[in-house]
Amino acid sequence: MNMRVLCFRSLVFIQLLLLVFSQDNPPGFISIDCGIPSNSTNVDEDTKLTYVSDDQFIDTGVNYKIAPDYVTDGLSTKYLTVRSFPNGTRNCYALTSLSAGSKYLVRAAFMYGNYDNKNNPPNFDIHLGVNYWGTVDIPGPDGAYFSEIIATTTSDYLQVCLVKKDRGTPFISALELRPLLTTLYKDDANAAQSLVCSYRGNTGASSQLRYPDDPYDRIWMDYTLNTWTDISTTSTFDPDTDFGIPSIVMQTAAATLSVQQSLELSWPPANNNKSTVFLVILHIGEVQDISSDDLRQFDIFWNGIAYASYTSVVPYKLYPGWFSYRSTDHDEHNVSLRATSNSTLPPLLNAFELYVITPTTGIPTYSGDVAAMNKIKTNYQVNKGWSGDPCVPTELSWSGVTCTFDSSNIPRITSLNLSSCGLTGAIVSSFGNLSTLDSLDLSYNDLSGKLPTFLDQLSALTYLDITGNSNISTTLPPGLQQRKQDGNLMYRFGGASRYSRPSNNKTKILIAVIIPVVCVGVLLLLACLIKSSGFRRLANGEEIRNKNSADLEDSNGNIVQIDSQHFTYKDLQKITNNFEKSIGKGGFGTVYHGQLYSGTQVAVKLLDNSSRQGTREFLAEVRHLSRIHHRNLVPLIGYCKDGLGCMALVYEYMSGGSLRTYLTDKDRNARVLSWEERLRILLDAAQGLLYLHRECDPPIIHRDVKTENILLNHMLEAKIADFGLSKAFRDNCTHMSTTVAGTPGYLDPEYNSSSQLTEKSDVYSFGVVLLEVVTAKPPIIDGRNKIRLTRWVHQQLTKGSMDDVVDMRILGRYDINSAWKVVQLAMSCCSETSAQRPVMSHLVSELKDCLELVHGTSSVMDSVRSSSSRRIALEVAKNGESLLPDGPSVR
Ligand SMILES: *[C@@H]1O[C@H](CO)[C@@H](O)[C@H](O)[C@H]1NC(C)=O
Ligand SMILES: *[C@@H]1O[C@H](CO)[C@@H](O)[C@H](O)[C@H]1NC(C)=O
Ligand SMILES: *[C@@H]1O[C@H](CO)[C@@H](O)[C@H](O)[C@H]1NC(C)=O
Ligand SMILES: *[C@@H]1O[C@H](CO)[C@@H](O)[C@H](O)[C@H]1NC(C)=O
Ligand SMILES: *[C@@H]1O[C@H](CO)[C@@H](O)[C@H](O)[C@H]1NC(C)=O
Ligand SMILES: *[C@@H]1O[C@H](CO)[C@@H](O)[C@H](O)[C@H]1NC(C)=O
Ligand SMILES: *[C@@H]1O[C@H](CO)[C@@H](O)[C@H](O)[C@H]1NC(C)=O
Ligand SMILES: *[C@@H]1O[C@H](CO)[C@@H](O)[C@H](O)[C@H]1NC(C)=O
């Protein structure tokens, strides 16, 4: 199966339309027929879904009809019109009223049909929000093409953008959005990555299927080869909770003609790029009655390697089993199903899905800035081709807008140039919302009225230009006036107006096309023409630190230069809304959630009286800590030290919470971390500790390494919290035994004898963390009698297997080799004597190896990871036991 051949071979015969019934679209479906008149609708002949005009989703572009030569009877109405985008590099549709964190299937469809009479089929990119989705390369005027993506939203809207490339004008025929349950494709489609469909094949079927046969309106292409035979059943399959695969898709299957013949699928790397990562999902379930003398048993080979040699697949009757596999770095990818020597029946395949895994690395601009910019855009009808995200990707950022990244790497707008843009009327309040604005140029417009006081909110403004607005009052509001007096603001005003009102005679493009109606069936070519994947990095990933240095006097009158922000108690009250939301209680005090004026979320740690110390020591420590920067350490943003006795530290807020919450049963809402995610988190944490031990001068021993002190951000990147505190706040602390010298269960046993904590004490504690992450058990297990986790793991392993140790929730979904490695590492970290424990650099390199085991070269392990539980289900089923899908563990 060569993908290219396959895509273009799939000719689909569309039935003549007989009668079109309209019906209510299912909830959440958005179906858009691009290019039809404003407010009009169409009913799709196939699905009976109602398609609406795209007018309410986009405000740029021109409507066209495809050339009459390409209008063939039976061609779906949604392909008859297009919206085309001659202006602007990027033009975006906004799909709103979605729910953040939900999963959607989005499909964009294209038929060129020489609508512009230029015979120039274009190529262009499509983006989903700020992330690359794919490249559309239209080969010719006839044929309708689509691309599908399964993605998770981070906000309540999604933008689908068309981005100009080197040839022709971007256009679109239809856009569809279908909600998916978040539990579907859950291992592979998430906030960090999307799935772009390369092919979805329904083997043994005779025609294409979609809604209403598939409630999620996925398009299943009928796929068969002449070396295969079609088999099917009229009985219904059990429901499938992992992919929601419809029974009707499972009911048809293909088998090879003889037992000896293997069933093969192969495809080339996407876009000739061997780095593309494919996800292949095979759906397998028995459709025939198998007599007791017969056996259908086969092995699955991935690129020539047996997926596992110790068990073979025996499909279970009417039960949807699946196998998934990730593949990269091959000249050609192939999957081969081969009967075992005992099998009397050939291998079978009911359906398969092939996706390109596409990372979603772009972070959109701060939502407050986006809202303000959109208000400004619509209020003044700014005609600068602004569409999509103002800052991201960098090469497509809005003209006149400059951005930087805040301390959590979120893009913020720092300068806005609207010089000579024809702005009229008053200055709208949205300008006051661009709180990180450093430069604002409004020169040569026709703005009138006063400079409003909300401009005082622009506390970082250093440049304001209102020259050439003849009817504007030039008096600055008090705050800006003060900034000007202090020499912090450069203010330009006066000057003659260069502004002239733009003429308002828009060229109207009218196209009248007479469509001849020819009553014959039509062959419609449907193909996935996406060239994948190649993603763009948002930025160079560097953290831009808050440059708000403060010169302070310490108690001895010495000037202390501190490279972080200084807050007063009043500031903290405001930031935390009067200490409203406590998000944790640590060794040194209570932590509150807060939000800086810039919108940055912070965690404010208010120190207990008992942890307090002299001003001088405090400032010295803050100075020290504010200079420590590493990707895997929670950054210190600022501190509070004022005459009123406030002592607090302000950290970046980590929205993902602590690692501990993901490992306890208590928090049932917490998502289950996959094995790979766990390894990544451990590696992150190890790198943070390594930095403290090796790069800091003097080296920092954390002294309280535990899962509560490993925090995650929204991308599940781990950062170490609370470092450096134990040393700083040791002296006056009354709870020394629990808070300073570590937490029970994590504490280095050698400390008891030597009373000396070394970096190897951190290694010991980290060993306990490793075990916690593998087992999801606390460091001290409360049973009939308390037992240390290290001991428990040891006991389990001597009498059982790895499966008895690993977190129940990932049984069957972890890679045993790397799990062994992690447990062995943990055991060496927890050696009684520190000399036997490894150093952090060793742990970092070993954890890197583990990650490689999981996803790098040995992609075979990956498949085991995600499918071994189902494979076991298939086996047990063969032995005649009844088994519910997703029932109790079968082991
Ligand atoms: C479409 O509907 C909206 C709201 O109902 C209305 O304001 C607008 O004028 C309509 N447009 C056309 C072209 O009928
Ligand atoms: C595209 O830009 C041209 C020139 O700026 C303008 O005349 C035309 O109206 C624009 N078309 C659209 C669809 O915005
Ligand atoms: C399948 O792929 C493997 C590895 O890329 C290759 O060695 C083998 O020849 C391929 N088999 C077929 C039938 O294409
Ligand atoms: C084939 O069947 C025999 C007898 O039941 C068994 O011993 C052998 O392991 C089977 N071979 C395979 C490959 O399953
Ligand atoms: C501007 O900020 C105010 C509150 O500070 C908020 O109510 C308003 O919705 C914001 N406006 C925009 C356009 O974001
Ligand atoms: C704004 O843009 C105009 C012309 O595009 C330019 O002359 C001016 O210098 C810019 N203003 C700033 C502050 O860069
Ligand atoms: C100047 O602005 C005021 C309102 O602020 C308006 O009444 C007046 O007509 C404007 N004058 C000119 C010449 O535009
Ligand atoms: C190939 O794909 C990888 C991963 O998707 C990407 O990083 C790389 O830039 C691509 N290379 C080319 C030449 O497109």
- CA–CA dist 34, 21 (Å, integer): 21
Q: Which positions ≥6 away from 301 have C-beta within 8 Å?
A: 307, 334, 335, 336, 337, 338
DSSP 435-464: TT--EEE--SSEE-B---GGGGG-TT--EE
Model confidence band, residue 808 (pLDDT cutoffs 50, 70, 90): confident
Q: Which residue from 367, 368, 431, 441 is spatially nearest to 399, judged by alpha carbons?
A: 441
Nearest-ligand number for the alpha carbon of 169? 2
Query: Is 804 annotated as catalytic?
Result: no
Degrees to nearest 5, angle at CA 42 with 36 and 47: 135
SS3 633: strand
- CA–CA dist 744, 584 (Å, integer): 18
How far is C-alpha 516 from the geometric centre of its chain's CA atoms? Answer: 47
Q: Which positions ≥6 away from 698 have C-beta within 8 Å?
A: none
Structure tokens at 90: 């990027």
Task: Give the residues surrounding ligand 8 with Cβ less than 6 Å away.
Answer: 273, 275-276, 533-534
- Using the predicted structure, report yes or no on whether residue 876 has a pLDDT greater than 70: no
pLDDT digits (tens, 9 = 90+) for 639-652: 887 655 678 888 88
Select the more confidently predicted residue: 164 or 530.
164
User: Best of 383, 419, 444, 499 to mutate for ligand 6, by most ligand atoms within 8 A of CB?
Assistant: 419
Degrees to nearest 5, angle at CA 594 with 590 and 599: 160
**Residue with the two structure tokens 């990119």:** 125
User: Best of 64, 87, 162, 382 to mutate for ligand 2, by most ligand atoms within 8 A of CB?
Assistant: 87
pLDDT digits (tens, 9 = 90+) for 664-710: 866 666 788 999 999 999 999 999 999 999 888 778 888 889 999 99
Q: Which domains does the chain have, with CATH numbers?
A: 24-180 (2.60.120.260), 198-261+274-359 (2.60.120), 367-492 (3.80.10.10), 549-652 (3.30.200.20), 657-728+738-855 (1.10.510.10)
**Residue with the two structure tokens 């972070």:** 363
Is 303 a pocket residue for ligand 3 (Cβ < 6 Å)?
A: yes
Q: Which residue from 570, 568, 558 is spatially nearest to 639, judged by alpha carbons?
A: 568
Average pLDDT, stretch 420-441? Answer: 94
Question: What is the sign of the dihedral through the CA atoms of 94, 96, 99 and 103?
Answer: negative
Least confident of 127-141, 328-342, 546-560: 546-560
Helix axes 675-690, 816-829, angle to 10 degrees: 30
Greatest mean pLDDT among 15-24, 422-431, 869-878:
422-431
User: Which position among 704, 748, 762, 815 bears the catalytic label?
Assistant: 704
Q: Which residue from 211, 201, 274, 267 is spatially nearest to 24, judged by alpha carbons?
A: 211
pLDDT digits (tens, 9 = 90+) for 63-119: 999 999 999 888 899 999 999 999 999 999 999 999 999 999 999 999 999 999 999
φ and ψ at residue 677, rounded to 5 degrees? -60, -40
Q: How many residues does the chain have?
A: 891
pLDDT digits (tens, 9 = 90+) for 227-248: 899 999 999 999 988 899 999 9
pLDDT digits (tens, 9 = 90+) for 264-274: 998 888 777 88
- Using the predicted structure, report yes or no on whether residue 125 has a pLDDT greater than 80: yes
HSE-up (13 A, CA, CB side) for residue 684: 24
- CA–CA dist 104, 369 (Å, integer): 26
SS3 575: helix
Say if CB 2 and CB 268 are below 8 A apart.
Answer: yes
- CA–CA dist 118, 533 (Å, integer): 29
φ and ψ at residue 859, rounded to 5 degrees? -65, -15
DSSP 506: P
Q: Per DSSP, what are the bridge partners of residue 566?
A: 639
- CA–CA dist 92, 364 (Å, integer): 14
- Using the predicted structure, report yes or no on whether residue 879 has a pLDDT greater than 50: no
φ and ψ at residue 574, rounded to 5 degrees? -65, -50
Is 334 a pocket residue for ligand 3 (Cβ < 6 Å)?
A: yes
Q: Which positions ≥6 away from 118 have C-beta within 8 Å?
A: 168
Q: Tell me the one-letter amino acid at 818.
A: S
- Using the predicted structure, report yes or no on whether residue 383 has a pLDDT greater than 80: yes
